[in-house]
Structure 1
Amino acid sequence: MTHFTQKDIDEMHHVYKINLINSCSGYKSANLIGTKSSEGITNVAIFSSVTHIGSAPAILGFFLRPNTVTRNTYDNIRETGYYSINHVHENILMEAHHTSAKYDKTISEFDKTLLEEDYKGNYLVPFVKDAPVQIAMKYIEEYPIKVNNTILVIGEIQDLYLADNLLEPDGFIDLSKANVASINGLDGYTIPKLKSRLAYQRPKI
């Protein structure tokens, strides 16, 4: 096996280290987070750090890089208190990836890509049209990660919208039916397929 020590990692070229460490944790979710500023300018950006925190209450978290530069998503969430989470699927990979480009807050990524805004209920924040899973989120709290100055943002699910035929009788959402993408590292995309579902495990007697 290829082996890297902590010293090896510390001394790596910056880009090589970023690619290596972002890949070693495994496949990550691919989501577009939609927000709108208090001035009414929409924003959509790709995130690979959305994660389940708990089901009662139904809360999800995501990590933000250090706010040493402008973070439009974060600023908009703090201004309005709401945002949307939208699953990336196979047909929008290129457009979704382009939202990682750093545009000024006066420019909407929706205007620079083929992604389309979608609005549901009374929410002022945009969802991504045709995303198979769309989640309306309310900001709850955040936690600073001191070791690298990142932020864990925690929100509560307000409404959950699913494309037809994804929901199984027991509540399981079969994402493979919608060709939902996963991210490998920073820029590697894959479309996983469901292999099997295994029963709840108990200790062997």
Structure 2
Amino acid sequence: MELNQSDFTRLDTRYRANFFNTLAGFKSANLIGTYDENDKENLAVFNSVIHLGANPALMGFILRPTTVERHTYENIKKTGFYTINHIHEAIIEKAHHTSAKYPSQISEFEASGLHAQVVDDFKAPFVKESIIKVGLEFRNEYFIKENDTRLIVGEVVHISIPKEFITAEGSIDLPKAQTVAISGLDSYLKTKLIKKLSYARPKPNNN
């Protein structure tokens, strides 16, 4: 099958959304936790979390247009803090339920059956059931005018992870931690290491 832009416009709306949501490949599966100004918990599943740098340690995620209520965004802007929690195999169904559109006064933690975890005095809730948990402080946002989305940038200020999932070289063993990936909006997948390769260098000139 070959498609061009004229074909895109003829696709059914839901079909088109599913197609382009899977076109970029597998994505990370995370839950983002926040408090509102009254310390009411909010939790939502995101498939757009990305690594932005190690020094300083930055992570980003894409926020959809704010033409409707975006509780995660509103809370981050008010408090300046949020958490990113890996989804693993045992909590897929509960994690996915946080994508339901609840009003702001309803806690997705309670609605999904997950539990909020308070760590010291950090100003956002972690997911107790998650194995790998990251606390971030909001640093910046970048508006993407082409589709009215935003790149939200945060600095990592707290990490909770069992030591046995960190390799001798510092990498996190995601398959061992049972961290899952997302395809599209609703398909969750296991991860499996195929092969670990050495740092690539230019091949010597054989001419």
TM-score normalized by structure 2?
Answer: 0.96
The 3-state SS of whatever aligns with 1:94 is helix
1:164 is displaced (CA, Å) by 3.6
2:11 — aligned with what? Answer: 12
CA distance in 1, matches of 2:202, 2:29: 34
Alignment of 1:45-60 (within 5 A): 45-60=44-59
Q: Structure 1: how far apart are the matches of 2:41 and 2:54?
A: 29
CA separation in 2, counterparts of 1:113 and 1:83? 19
Q: Deviations over 1:48-97 (max 9, x none)?
A: 00001111111000000000000000000000000000000000101111
The question of whether the paired residues in 1 share the 8 Å contact of 2:79 and 2:123 is answered with: no
Aligned residue identity for 1:185: G
Verify the 8 A CA contact 2:136 2:157 in the aligned structure 1. Answer: yes
The 5-angstrom pairing of residues 158-169 of structure 1 reads 158-169=157-168
Q: Name the CA distance, whole Å, in 2 between partners of 1:33 and 1:155.
A: 12
Residues of 2 paired with 1:165 and 1:9: CA distance? Answer: 47
1:96 aligns with 2:95: yes
Residues 181-200 of structure 1: pairs in structure 2 closer than 5 A: 181-200=180-199
> Greater CA deviation, 193-202 or 19-28?
193-202
C-alpha distance in 2 between matches for 1:193 and 1:103: 34
Higher mean alpha-carbon deviation, 126-135 vs 70-79, is at 126-135
The letter for the 2-side match of 1:23 is T
- Tell whether the 8 Å contact from 1:118 to 1:126 is kept in structure 2 after alignment: yes
Tell me how far apart the structure 1 counterparts of residues 59 and 84 of structure 2 sit (CA, whole Å): 10
* Pairing of 1:109-128 with structure 2 (within 5 A): 109-128=108-127
* 1:170 matched residue in structure 2: 169
Aligned 8 A contact 2:48 2:62 in 1: yes
1: CA distance, partners of 2:117 / 2:102: 21
What amino acid does structure 2 have at the position aligned with 1:78?
Answer: K
Aligned to 2:151: 152
Question: Which segments of 5 or more consecutive residues in structure 2 lack a partner in the other structure?
Answer: none
Unpaired segments ≥5 residues, structure 1: none
Q: Once the two structures are aligned, what percentage of the paired residues are identical?
A: 43
In the alignment of these two chains, the number of paired residues is 204
How far, CA to CA, are the matches of 1:178 and 1:54 in structure 2?
22
- Structure 2 residue 58 is the aligned partner of structure 1 residue 87: no
Match of residue 179 from structure 2 = 180
After the TM superposition, which parts of structure 1 deviate over 4 Å for at least 4 consecutive aligned residues? none
Report the AA paired with residue 81 of structure 1: G
TM-score when normalising by structure 1 = 0.97
Once the two structures are overlaid, the 10-residue window that deviates more, 195-204 or 59-68, is 195-204
Q: How far apart in 1 are the matches of 2:103 and 2:166?
A: 38
Query: Does the CA contact (< 8 Å) of 1:174 and 1:194 recur in 2?
Result: no
1:70 matches 2:88: no
